[in-house]
């Protein structure tokens, strides 16, 4: 089995080496894009089964964001929903023989955490203003500024390491058991990996929501106003 901490390029696009996580991510992106195009092609006021599932997923994301941030979920729906969906599918891609989940590599997790980190800062500045956002580092006292700054880094690293550790370890354990025991022995562990993958996707998405919510602060929602329910996704 390959060392999961190292990446070998599959091919090069000019000077850019294309590794397996990137290729699998592209495949996932294409699949999700095609699925989105096909699933949302004929949306109706009286939904079918697929539309009902999609609306249930979006409504669940909105509910989670609303419950966590106590704000209108529209500006955060795409980011949180995409993170959850991508991490979930990436984690579950290990079920396909020969495919290694992109999230089992540190670069993918770091990329996702980097997106969350940047989004947290962007939403924080957008919501509070630059001074207001910077002022949050002095809460509850200016003495906490160093610790808050360190927390920004460490919690991002914790996102990376938590996801990377769980997924990589699952893949690693399945690979070891498969090499030692036989063809069907790792199946329970793969089932456990499905659960672990779903839980990790949920945790990653929820933590991203919590970080962004802490950055923007609480604000009374105006969900009763229908205008606020329109899609404001960037």
Partner 1 sequence: MTIDWWTLGLQTINALVLIWILARFLFRPVSQIIAKRQAAAQADLDAAQQARSDAETALAEARREAARLIQDRAKVLKHSHDAAEKAMQHQLELARQDAEKVRAAAEEDIAKRRAAADAEMKHQATILAADIAGRLMTRLPDEARIEGFTEGLIQSIADLPDVTRDGIGVNGPIPLRAARKLSAHEAARIKARLSEVLGRDVEISMSTDPDLLAGLEIDADHAILRNHLRADLERIKAELTADD
In the complex, the residues that contact partner 1 under the rule CB under 8 A are 5-7, 16-19, 21-22, 25-26, 28-29, 32-33, 35-37, 39-40, 43-45, 47, 51, 54-55, 57-59, 62, 74, 77-79, 81-83, 85-86, 102, 105-108, 110-112, 114-115, 226, 229-231, 233-234
Give the DSSP H/E element, type plus range, for residue 129. none
Torsion of CA 22, 182, 179, 26, to 10 degrees: 0
Residue with tokens 């696009």: 13
- Kindly tell me which of 109 and 186 has the beta carbon lying closer to partner 1: 109
Are the C-beta atoms of 205 and 217 separated by less than 8 Å? no
- Kindly tell me which of 45 and 183 has the beta carbon lying closer to partner 1: 45
- Kindly tell me which of 14 and 220 has the beta carbon lying closer to partner 1: 14
Are the C-beta atoms of 142 and 83 separated by less than 8 Å? no
Strands 16-19 and 9-13: antiparallel
Min separation Cβ 90 and partner 1, Å = 10
Half-sphere exposure of 5 (CA within 13 A, CB side): 2
Are the C-beta atoms of 167 and 21 separated by less than 8 Å? no
Min separation Cβ 174 and partner 1, Å = 21
Min separation Cβ 69 and partner 1, Å = 16
- Kindly tell me which of 38 and 199 has the beta carbon lying closer to partner 1: 38
- Kindly tell me which of 115 and 194 has the beta carbon lying closer to partner 1: 115
Min separation Cβ 74 and partner 1, Å = 7
Phi, psi at 184, each rounded to 5°:
-100, -5
Min separation Cβ 38 and partner 1, Å = 10
């Amino acid at each position: 089995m390959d060392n999961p901490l190292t990446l070998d390029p599959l091919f090069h696009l000019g000077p850019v080496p294309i590794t397996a996580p990137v290729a699998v991510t592209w495949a996932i992106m294409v699949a999700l894009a095609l699925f989105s195009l096909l699933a949302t092609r004929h949306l109706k006021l009286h939904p079918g089964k697929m539309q009902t599932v999609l609306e249930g997923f979006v409504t669940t994301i909105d509910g989670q964001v609303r419950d966590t941030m106590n704000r209108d979920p529209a500006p955060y729906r795409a980011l949180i929903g995409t993170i959850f969906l991508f991490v979930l599918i990436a984690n579950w891609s290990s079920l396909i023989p020969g495919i290694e989940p992109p999230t089992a590599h540190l670069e993918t997790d770091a990329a996702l955490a980097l997106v969350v980190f940047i989004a947290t800062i962007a939403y924080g500045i957008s919501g509070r203003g630059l001074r207001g956002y910077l002022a949050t580092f002095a809460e509850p006292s200016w003495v906490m500024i160093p610790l808050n700054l360190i927390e920004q880094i460490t919690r991002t690293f914790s996102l990376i390491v938590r996801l990377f550790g769980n997924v990589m370890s699952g893949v690693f354990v399945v690979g070891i058991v498969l090499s030692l025991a036989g063809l069907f022995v790792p199946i329970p562990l793969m089932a456990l990996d499905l659960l672990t993958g779903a839980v990790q996707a949920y945790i990653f998405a929820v933590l991203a929501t919590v970080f962004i919510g802490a950055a923007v602060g609480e604000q009374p929602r105006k969900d009763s106003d229908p205008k606020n329910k329109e899609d404001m996704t960037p």
